[in-house]
């Protein structure tokens, strides 16, 4: 691999100038390919005539990937009070005390539905009486960039809103923990998965 130094000169095709131009390796912030956010302080080739980014050397890829992984996305929603109570009851039953109550569930069910997706499950939940009611409890969830992408994919697949998907996860959790009467072994398994997701 060719390794470049800061300040080193090279030549490359600039898409802005539409010709091969002299370039200089400089430290700049680079937008992520997703278009959301940017990687800070990355060594890249800059066009000497227009000062725009011309190319990102291979050596900079791990630094960009590292920052992309750390990127945290926030999701906000309002849910009914009783639904949040159902969530707390489920946590009590599991014997887990997590300061962050909603995010572990969202993380867990995103992966669960990724592996095991049945649209009929959603239909049952979304038509439940428990989903309805005045939404006075505010929830805020922090997700990694990759989980955020998965969350949105699932939302699209279902054709439902952010709030409805969060409510779906909360109700499914209650269903799995309280209604389904898990055996002690299943409960232990769930607990260990949840502790990892927390």
Stretch that binds Zn ion, among 16-24, 28-36, 95-103, 117-125 (CB under 5 A): 16-24
Lateral strand order in the sheet of 9-14: 9-14, 19-31, 38-47, 53-55
Residue 50 within binding range of Zn ion, rule CB under 5 A? yes
Whole-angstrom distance, CA of residue 46 vs CA of residue 157: 40
Residue 16 within binding range of Zn ion, rule CB under 5 A? yes
Whole-angstrom distance, CA of residue 122 vs CA of residue 116: 12
Task: Choose among 41, 32, 131: nearest CA to 73.
Answer: 32
Stretch that binds Zn ion, among 39-47, 67-75, 109-117, 164-172 (CB under 5 A): 39-47
Residue 89 contacts residue 179 (beta carbons within 8 Å): no
Alpha-helix residue ranges (DSSP H) falling in 20-101: 61-70, 81-94
Tell me the closest approach of the beta carbon of residue 16 to Zn ion, in angstroms: 4
> Binding string, 142-161, against Zn ion, x = CB under 5 A?
--------------------
Tell me the closest approach of the beta carbon of residue 17 to Zn ion, in angstroms: 3
Q: Which is nearer to Zn ion, 20 or 196 (CB)?
A: 20
Whole-angstrom distance, CA of residue 13 vs CA of residue 15: 6
Among 4, 14, 44, 165, binds Zn ion (CB under 5 A): 14
- Residues in contact with Zn ion, total (CB under 5 A)? 6
Residue 13 within binding range of Zn ion, rule CB under 5 A? no
3-state secondary structure of 29: strand
Among 47, 75, 77, 177, binds Zn ion (CB under 5 A): 47
Residue 25 contacts residue 5 (beta carbons within 8 Å): yes
Tell me the closest approach of the beta carbon of residue 13 to Zn ion, in angstroms: 9
Residue 17 within binding range of Zn ion, rule CB under 5 A? yes
* Site for Zn ion, residues 65 to 94, rule: CB under 5 A: none
Tell me the closest approach of the beta carbon of residue 23 to Zn ion, in angstroms: 9
User: Where does residue 162 rank: exposed (0-12), middle (13-18), buried (19+ CB within 10 A)?
Assistant: middle
Q: Which residues bind Zn ion (CB under 5 A)?
A: 14, 16-17, 47, 49-50
């Amino acid at each position: 691999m060719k390794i470049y130094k800061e300040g080193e000169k090279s030549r490359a095709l600039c898409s802005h100038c539409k010709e091969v131009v002299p370039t200089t390796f400089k430290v700049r912030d680079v937008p992520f390919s997703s278009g959301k956010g940017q990687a800070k302080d990355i060594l890249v080739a800059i066009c000497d005539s227009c000062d725009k980014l011309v190319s990102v050397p291979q050596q900079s890829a791990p630094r960009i990937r590292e920052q992309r992984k750390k990127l945290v996305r926030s999701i906000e929603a309002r849910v009914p009070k009783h639904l949040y109570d159902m969530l707390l009851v489920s946590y009590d039953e599991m014997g887990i005390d997590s300061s962050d109550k909603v995010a572990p569930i969202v993380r867990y069910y995103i992966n669960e539905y990724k592996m095991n997706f049945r649209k009929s499950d959603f239909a049952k939940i979304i038509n439940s009486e428990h989903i309805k009611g005045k939404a006075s409890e505010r929830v805020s969830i922090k997700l990694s960039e990759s989980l955020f992408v998965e969350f949105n994919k699932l939302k699209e697949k279902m054709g439902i809103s952010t709030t409805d998907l969060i409510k779906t996860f909360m109700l499914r959790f209650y269903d799995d923990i309280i209604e389904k009467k898990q055996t002690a072994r299943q409960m232990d398994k769930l607990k260990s998965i949840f502790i990892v997701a927390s």
